[in-house]
């Protein structure tokens, strides 16, 4: 129970840090990309996607506090997987700069 609260707090703090623009190094892949690769992305959109995902996951973790059954955990994992896939797709389409 305490672990879920701590993880939710960490996700919330990390999401806020990414959204305010101080946590680009927390974005996997972006922090190790070369300057040429970084220039292909709209960093504001990418921050919004990743920060938003982290902030949405925080309260979802807290919902598990009331019901730690296998079904609730499975629903959490499934929803997290779907959200992550959507964010990855958007990061590689919507957050990429278009060539003009």
pLDDT of res. 67: 79
Cα–Cα distance, 80 to 70 (Å, whole number) = 15
With contact defined as beta carbons under 8 Å apart, do 52 and 18 qualify?
Answer: no
Cα–Cα distance, 55 to 78 (Å, whole number) = 17
59 is a domain residue: yes
pLDDT of res. 85: 97
Report, in angstroms and rounded to the nearest whole number, the Rg of the chain calculated over CA atoms: 15
Please list the ranges in the chain whose pLDDT falls under 70: 100
76 is a domain residue: yes
Domain that holds residue 21: 2-92
99 is a domain residue: no
49 is a domain residue: yes
Q: How many domains does the chain have?
A: 1
pLDDT of res. 78: 96
pLDDT of res. 1: 82
What length does the chain have? 100
Instruction: Write down the pTM of the prediction.
Output: 0.87
97 is a domain residue: no
User: Tens of pLDDT along 71-88?
Assistant: 888 999 999 999 999 999
37 is a domain residue: yes
57 is a domain residue: yes
16 is a domain residue: yes
């Amino acid at each position: 129970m305490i672990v879920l609260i701590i993880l939710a707090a960490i996700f919330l703090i990390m999401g806020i840090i990414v959204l305010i623009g101080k946590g680009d190094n927390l974005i996997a892949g972006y922090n190790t990309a070369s300057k040429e690769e970084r220039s292909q992305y709209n960093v504001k959109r990418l921050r919004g996607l990743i920060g938003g995902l982290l902030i949405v996951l925080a309260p979802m973790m807290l919902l598990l506090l009331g019901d730690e059954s296998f079904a609730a955990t499975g629903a959490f994992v499934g929803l997290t997987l779907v959200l992550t896939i959507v964010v990855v797709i958007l990061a590689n389409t919507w957050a990429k700069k278009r060539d003009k």
